[in-house]
Amino acid sequence: MLDSLRQPLETGKVDVARANAHVTYPANVQLIAAMNPCRCGHLGDPALACSRAPRCAADYQGKVSGPMLDRIDLHVEVEPVSAADLALPPTAEGSEAVAARVAAARAVQNARGGEAGARTNAELDGEALENWASPDRPGRDLLMQAATAMRLSARSYTRMLRVARTIADLAGAEQVGRIHVAEALSYRRQAPRA
């Protein structure tokens, strides 16, 4: 069932084929998903840990296929929030400041994409992606090392470039650098291998 999202996530379209008709609908979506680390959700919590760990976690996480994971650009592990965490003061950067940075980055992407026929970095492809998202030499070296070590597919490599370009835009940087590539890599989860 989950794997049926692969095509729409990749192409931004969904094809429906029936006996006498074949119809294509637009399906350009931004998927935001959440998943527990294991069936019970308590992996890593010594007070509530499952007696089947780590096998339980491997079985549970293995339900998401490698090709599906390959199409998810950002993987962020979030620790449980304790009652003590709720009493902490707010973070230094508020929502308004983050929203302003995102709006500025989107404006840059929109202006850049106008030349390439794309509105966001996620839509950059081919020559436009190479022109706008190519990292500097140290960034490219890091990306090539990671591509080999993590066995990144061509799809993952392209997605890494787009994410690194977006991180650079949020930082207000003209060129994608090593630090942007490193952050993009930190959000990448290796697909399970058979």
For residue range 87-144, list pLDDT tens digits in order. Answer: 888 878 888 999 999 999 999 998 887 766 678 898 888 888 999 999 999 999 999 9
What confidence score (pLDDT) does residue 190 get? 57
In terms of residue numbers, what domain contains 36?
2-80
Establish if 180 belongs to a structural domain: yes
Establish if 88 belongs to a structural domain: no
What confidence score (pLDDT) does residue 133 get? 93
Cβ-based neighbour number of residue 41 at 10 Å: 13
Based on the fold, state whether residues 143 and 75 are members of the same structural domain. no
Q: What is the pTM of this model?
A: 0.82
Q: Per DSSP, what are the bridge partners of residue 15?
A: 24
- Give the number of domains in the chain: 2
| Domain end residue (candidates: 26, 55, 80) | 80
DSSP 8-state symbol, 119: S
| Residues 15 and 22 sit within 8 Å (Cβ to Cβ) | yes
Cβ-based neighbour number of residue 33 at 10 Å: 10
What confidence score (pLDDT) does residue 115 get? 62
Give the distance from CA 75 to its chain's centroid. 6
What confidence score (pLDDT) does residue 194 get? 37
Based on the fold, state whether residues 66 and 101 are members of the same structural domain. no
Based on the fold, state whether residues 100 and 74 are members of the same structural domain. no
Based on the fold, state whether residues 26 and 62 are members of the same structural domain. yes
| Domain end residue (candidates: 26, 53, 80) | 80
Establish if 36 belongs to a structural domain: yes
Give me the average pLDDT of each 10-residue run along the chain (194 residues): 84 87 88 87 76 82 87 87 85 88 93 75 88 95 94 91 96 96 89 42
Based on the fold, state whether residues 52 and 130 are members of the same structural domain. no
Based on the fold, state whether residues 99 and 180 are members of the same structural domain. yes
What confidence score (pLDDT) does residue 191 get? 45
Residues contacting 37, CB < 8 A, separation 6+: 43, 44, 57, 60, 61, 77
CA distance 125 to 179: 22
Structure tokens at 167: 């991180």
CA distance 137 to 131: 14
Please choose, from the candidates 86, 80, 85, the residue with its C-alpha nearest in 3D space to the C-alpha of residue 43: 80
